[in-house]
Amino acid sequence: MPSFSSVRVIDSHTAGEPTRVVIAGGPDLGSGALTERLACFRERYDFFRSGVVNEPRGSEVVVGAILLEPFDPTCEAAVIYFNNVGYLGMCGHGTIGLVRTLEHMGRIGPGEHRIETPSGVVTTTLHASRQVTVENVPAYRLHKDVSVDVPGYGVVTGDVAWGGNWFFLTNIPGLSLALANVRELSRCAQAIKTGLAANGIRGTNGDEIDHVELFGAAEGAEADSRNFVLCPGNAYDRSPCGTGTSAKMACLYADGHLSPGKVWRQEGILRTYFDGSVSVKDGQVIPSITGEAHVTGEAKLLFAEKDPFRWGIS
């Protein structure tokens, strides 16, 4: 087994949600298609995922990203996102953080940069203002007004949509989307996730719906809505969630409530914002989200052989 003695990471946060990019010293995943490299990561090096993001080096909130050579030569880089329990097909806040990280490393400047993710290629723009726009993979609503019996909450009705990850999106009247209420919000979202699985409600190809997005009125006067997003692994997204905002906009578009090019300002639980919009290409809804990330640290991670928590507490 490789020693993993020189793992270098750059940490950032996007609208409050952390991203840790492994820039060197990670596992050799080969040079095949990204789906093959993801399979290799999952099957042979899952311990490395846990060691990088879980306690004691990280926490359940941290989203990890391993920076890789692209398979598609038109891309600047490839990336695989991961968290405390597994892997993410795409990550909006993580891509904004990755672009700022590549800029911090001196690899890119303002302009357009294509990034390969397991969910597909996304086109990013680093603006002179340092804001980053991510033109995401196509988003769509799979089911509208799905009702699920949720123990403790009754029948909950919402939409199932893809925004690079699978989401169940709903509004629970009377449930306050306040930061002070995150325990109750997490409990409710977890119960919904359990109810979806128990009732066999899944995404395309039987995929698990592993993100739950609760909506309500925005606190900020200029925002269109506020959300709370529970991620797989049960941490809540501190940002307004890029893939969740994409899924939301796909639903709004499907209902005729969002026209192409119109800005949808999504407020997150920390009262930070992503500005979104959609365009339509070849009949597909392409969401874009714009947000800001800040680099917070550079580090070398150590995985000492005698450390009982060398590969994380999981």
| Residue number, 126 or 231, with CB nearest to ligand PYC | 231
Tokens of 145: 């007004």
# binding residues, ligand PYC (CB under 6 A): 13
Hey, what's the torsion of the CAs at 144, 241, 118, 23, to 10 degrees? 180
Taking a C-beta distance cutoff of 8 angstroms, is the pair 216, 225 a contact?
A: yes
Least separation in angstroms between residue 274's CB and ligand PYC is 8
200 HSE (CA, 13 A, CB side): 0
The binder of ligand PYC chosen from 84, 133, 170, 239 (CB under 6 A):
239
Q: What share of the chain is helix, strand, coil (3-state, %, to 5)?
A: 20, 35, 40
| Residue number, 17 or 292, with CB nearest to ligand PYC | 17
Q: Is 241 in the site for ligand PYC (CB under 6 A)?
A: yes
Question: What is the 3-state secondary structure of 206-233?
Answer: HCCCCEEEEEECCCCCCCCEEEEEECCC
Least separation in angstroms between residue 151's CB and ligand PYC is 25
| Residue number, 93 or 265, with CB nearest to ligand PYC | 93
Q: Is 11 in the site for ligand PYC (CB under 6 A)?
A: no
Taking a C-beta distance cutoff of 8 angstroms, is the pair 188, 230 a contact?
A: no
From 75, 231, 241, 251, active-site residue: 241
| Residue number, 65 or 75, with CB nearest to ligand PYC | 65
Least separation in angstroms between residue 237's CB and ligand PYC is 5
The binder of ligand PYC chosen from 242, 268, 276, 287 (CB under 6 A):
242
Least separation in angstroms between residue 273's CB and ligand PYC is 13
Give the separation between CA 15 and CA 160, rounded to whole angstroms.
Answer: 25
Q: Is 40 a catalytic residue?
A: no
Give the separation between CA 177 and CA 174, rounded to whole angstroms.
Answer: 9
The binder of ligand PYC chosen from 29, 218, 231, 258 (CB under 6 A):
231
Q: Is 91 a catalytic residue?
A: yes
Q: Using CB under 6 A as the criterion, what x/- string covers residues 79-118 for binding ligand PYC?
A: ---------x--xxx-------------------------
Kindly tell me the sign of the dihedral angle through the C-alpha atoms of 297, 17, 186, 198.
negative
Give the separation between CA 163 and CA 110, rounded to whole angstroms.
Answer: 25
Give the active site residues: 91, 241
Q: Which residues bind ligand PYC (CB under 6 A)?
A: 17, 63, 88, 91-93, 165, 231, 237, 239, 241-243
